[in-house]
Amino acid sequence: MINVALPKGRLGEKVYQMFERAGYECPSIKENNRKLIFENAEKGIRYFWVKPSDVSIYVERGAADIGVAGKDILLEYSPEVYELLDLNIGKCRMAVAGKKDFYDDNQRTLRVATKFVNIAKSYYASKCRDIDIIKLNGSIEIAPILGLSDVIVDIVETGTTLKENDLDIVETIVPISARLISNKASFKFKTEEIEKIVEGMKAQVKFDD
């Protein structure tokens, strides 16, 4: 049996469709209920719906053999997992944004509000820029508006949230997409089954034109 941690929500539904098309369907998952675990014994697959940011924890600790996590989470938490495949969905970017009149005064420490503390720290360390990190848990865009920070480091997908809050992108840090990941021990002991899933999923990946 291969245990798969799926990110709950819109992305997870797309991911499940890819598994389904790859031949790992589990019809009961589509029944509208609040169950979190679904299994197709015949196909040797069991799915769990978990919070997207928790997928890598389940996989790292072996509660799931494989899972799908955003590159943002993998960069931020550096879990000890194998990254097997870029699914080319859930695409967005990690970016620095600020008010339209933002000007970076190098003489001053830059105040950066973010959920992604490690990504922000390593990005500014690579630029030898002194920063003061302000860790927030959501609604990051409000920080520069209220003068809590000079800039934010956050995910930008459509750009609507920035636009509606009169913020602009200052720099893009890294493109983000969903990745198929594996527990290291599972990959060693269930290599054949996992590789078969990777091949099936690879065939479902849609590349950009």
Q: List contacts with ligand PRP (CB under 6 A).
A: 138-141, 154-161
Cβ-based nearer residue to ligand PRP, 64 or 140: 140
Query: Between the CA atoms of 200, 203, 208 and 209, what dihedral angle is there, to the nearest 10 degrees?
Result: 180
Cβ-based nearer residue to ligand PRP, 141 or 150: 141
Shortest Å, Cβ 174 to ligand PRP: 15
Shortest Å, Cβ 27 to ligand PRP: 30
Cβ-based nearer residue to ligand PRP, 27 or 138: 138
Q: CA-CA distances (angstroms) from residue 198 to 9, 47, 55, 184?
A: 22, 16, 17, 15
Cβ-based nearer residue to ligand PRP, 63 or 155: 155
Distance separating alpha carbons of residues 201 and 206, to the nearest angstrom: 10
Distance separating alpha carbons of residues 137 and 204, to the nearest angstrom: 34
Shortest Å, Cβ 173 to ligand PRP: 14
DSSP string, 78-129: --SEEEEEE---S-EEEEEEEETT----TTSPEEEEES-HHHHHHHHHHTT-
Q: Determine whether 92 is exposed, middle or buried from the number of CB atoms within 10 Å of its CB (0-12, 13-18, 19+).
A: middle
Distance separating alpha carbons of residues 197 and 180, to the nearest angstrom: 10
In a 13 Å sphere around the CA of 179, the CA atoms on its Cβ side amount to: 19
Shortest Å, Cβ 137 to ligand PRP: 7
Cβ-based nearer residue to ligand PRP, 157 or 166: 157
Shortest Å, Cβ 158 to ligand PRP: 3
Cβ-based nearer residue to ligand PRP, 107 or 160: 160
Shortest Å, Cβ 177 to ligand PRP: 15
Distance separating alpha carbons of residues 19 and 62, to the nearest angstrom: 20
Count the helices and strands in the chain (H runs, E runs): 8, 11
